[in-house]
Amino acid sequence: MIARLHGILIEKAPPLIVIDCAGVGYEVEVPMSTFYQLPEVGVQVALLTHMVVREDAQLLYGFGSLQEKSTFRQLLKVNGIGAKSALAILSGVSIEDLVEAVNSQEVALLTRIPGVGKKTAERLLLELKDKFEATGINLGAGQVKSTTQDVLNAMLALGYNEREAVAAVKLLDQGVSVSEGIKQALKSLSK
């Protein structure tokens, strides 16, 4: 599984890019939110990736942030949403707007995304609410709790599974800094 690429950006043609990593060019599909953040061709770039292996293809999807990658993976878990649809959703709406749409059960925002009809939008709203809550996204405020999310991302990056990481983050003190939150979470996971 390829989880990250670091190399020189050699081609940009939305949504595809090519990254040269030690002489091997990796073709990566990225959401438009990541595409707009990319440097010019010929410059070093690093992306988090998600690899999909099918009978007829091995595909790489790239993301500029862990939050984008996590949201992409949550979208893939929704019945009827494949990688292309998940990429289209991330390209068509920001993560904050997606959270707000789920919070307010706003079908209209999602149906404006190409390829997302009313039934698909309703399924997304229904299934994502539980998934966002499980990963620490605060639907009440419609925003991601930055400290909590940063600590959660750190636990996931350290190799803990999502269940363990969410359980550890729930035990954090109110108003804790990110570094102190990571220490507390590691301490609770070591018990």
**What band does 132 get if pLDDT is binned at 50, 70 and 90?**
low
Helical H runs in the chain? 32-35, 66-76, 83-92, 95-104, 107-111, 118-134, 146-157, 162-170, 178-190
How large is the C-alpha radius of gyration of the chain? 18
Of the pLDDT bands very low, low, confident and very high (cuts 50, 70, 90), residue 22 is: very high
| pLDDT computed for residue 139 by the predictor | 38
pLDDT at position 48 is: 95
Q: Quick one: average pLDDT of 18-38?
A: 95
pLDDT score, position 144: 36
135-177 pLDDT per residue, tens: 544 433 433 356 777 788 788 778 888 778 888 888 888 778 8
The pTM score is 0.68
Query: Average of pLDDT values for 174-188?
Result: 85
Average pLDDT over every residue of 21-26? 96
Query: Looking up tokens 């990429």, which residue turns up?
Result: 87
Structural domains of the chain ordered from first start: 4-63 (2.40.50.140), 66-138 (1.10.150.20), 145-190 (1.10.8)
User: For 59-112, how does the pLDDT look when each residue is reduced to its tens digit (9 = 90+)?
Assistant: 999 999 999 999 999 999 888 899 999 999 999 888 888 888 888 888 888 888
What three-state secondary structure class fits 108? helix
Q: What is the pLDDT at residue 159? A: 81
Task: Indicate the residue type of 6.
Answer: H
CA atoms within 13 A on the CB side of 37: 14
